[in-house]
Structure 1
Amino acid sequence: MSNVGLRIYTQINRPSKDLIKSFAGLPVANIADNMNRMFCIDARIRPMNQAPLLGPAFTIRSRPGDNLLLHKALDLAQPGDILVVDAQGDMSNSIMGELMVLWAKKRGLGGFVIDGAIRDIETLKKIDMPIYAAGITPAGPYKDGPGEINAPISCGGVVIQPGDILIGDEDGLVVIKPEDAPELLQKTKAKNLAEQQTMKDIENMNWDRTWVDKALQERGCEYIG
């Protein structure tokens, strides 16, 4: 019998570690630009510290204010996995705090993305593990369920499948489908090189700005003296 809403999928397909690592250090903004400005997680989910995030998604859907399935995910996830929690953006109860993060760090997990609230922020903002969340509250969680692990979820307005590649820096988060990753990697590297040239042009007062007037002309801009 299928118990919809209280299920754990134990097997997921993760991209190769080499493919994931190849995105290390690339700006999230440049990656997003090469995805037509799509697949960025909502800006309300912000970094809680300065640790950069990179890894495959290990997804959790929880009832608002409940972290029973997140606790189970802490024990099931593999080193490097990013625990991505769809807590429906609820701010009434935190679903994670210092002890859970310390356990995740000991197990070598890659970080957290929480569409909901967390607590113990004074410690979490100093810890060397990437944590993104929608808010902070001292109110603790319940541990009753239901929820699901490694089902498709919605987090910050983006549908995320287990094994999707998540990349985060201080600008925010972007989600990459593994099948799109190789081509996207090459496009992002090319954009980085182009931006480096633009920075040199700016330094030399040689930045080509003619496109601005061209764009205004194409749109019929009226100049009033």
Structure 2
Amino acid sequence: MTAVTHHPLPHAVDPGLLTALRGVATATISDCLDRMPVLAGLRPFHRGGQLIGTAFTVQVRAGDNLAIHQALEAARRGDVIVVDGGGDTSRALVGDIMKAIAESRGIAGFVIDGAVRDTEAFASSDFPCYARTATPRGPFKTGPGATNLPVSIGGWTVTPGDVVVGDADGVVTFPPGIVPSLREAVRAQAAREADVLALIRSGRYDGRYARPANG
């Protein structure tokens, strides 16, 4: 077994900041952040419901989940286990046993840049789980790995302590310090979209929403 390197825990995100984002769509968040902070290629495997919490990042070698097991021992209630598996889908990194452990400890959900298994257990549950695909083949458990370091998933860097939000469309992440300004941008975006929908329903929409801001 090869050692897993553990970096210090990030600060947990203030629950009040997270509350401000409950029910906000990832599409709206992405639009308000220049359409950038998306973990491309991941899809939900759970029954439904929003994922929201603090990023507890994990880096593993392809097909090995030793560091994820150790992360479950160290993570706090409300943390999201965000795993950089390099996009490898040859072996599942989590399944129903690890799901049960995570739920029992108040973990907010899984975000896996790799594969999962026991998908029926996730599909019948509201415990959030995002991954690339599923496979019945189980993982190695020999390491190496690391926890709480910046990781790259789907073309986006996730930093320990980032806010993680997921819904039926996918997952976005961003630093907690921007939540106050993001909250205002989200409100403005929602108002604009409501106005457009009202115009469409009344037959008065002229395509202005689809035009560039300078067009």
Under a length normalisation based on structure 2, what TM-score does the superposition of the two structures give? 0.93
Q: 1:210 to 1:7 in 2, by over 3 A?
A: closer
Q: 1:209 to 1:88 in 2, by over 3 A?
A: same
2: CA distance between counterparts of 1:51 and 1:136? 20
2:82 corresponds to 1:84: yes
Among residues 94, 103, 116, which one is paired with 2:101 in the alignment? 103
SS at match of 2:200: helix
2: CA distance between counterparts of 1:210 and 1:91? 43
Gaps (5+ residues) in structure 1? 219-225
Aligned to 1:222: none
Aligned to 1:46: 43
Q: Kindly tell me the number of residue pairs found equivalent between the two proteins.
A: 210
1: CA distance between counterparts of 2:93 and 2:39? 19
Aligned to 1:21: 19
Q: 1:36 to 1:211 in 2, by over 3 A?
A: closer
Deviation at 1:161, TM superposition (A): 0.7
Aligned to 2:198: 200
Aligned to 1:142: 140
Aligned to 1:223: none
SS at match of 1:95: strand
Between structure 1 and structure 2, the one with the greater Rg is 1
- Report Cα offsets for 1:183-210 as digits up to 9, x if no partner: 0111011111221122111111111325
2: CA distance between counterparts of 1:209 and 1:96? 46
Among residues 176, 179, 185, which one is paired with 2:177 in the alignment? 179
The one-letter code matched in structure 2 to 1:76 is: A
Deviation at 1:15, TM superposition (A): 2.1
- Report Cα offsets for 1:141-193 as digits up to 9, x if no partner: 11100000111111222111111001111111111111222101110111112
Q: Are 1:15 and 1:56, in contact at CA under 8 Å, matched by a contact in 2?
A: yes
- Report Cα offsets for 1:46-74 as digits up to 9, x if no partner: 11122311111000000111000100111
Aligned to 1:165: 163
2: CA distance between counterparts of 1:156 and 1:125? 23
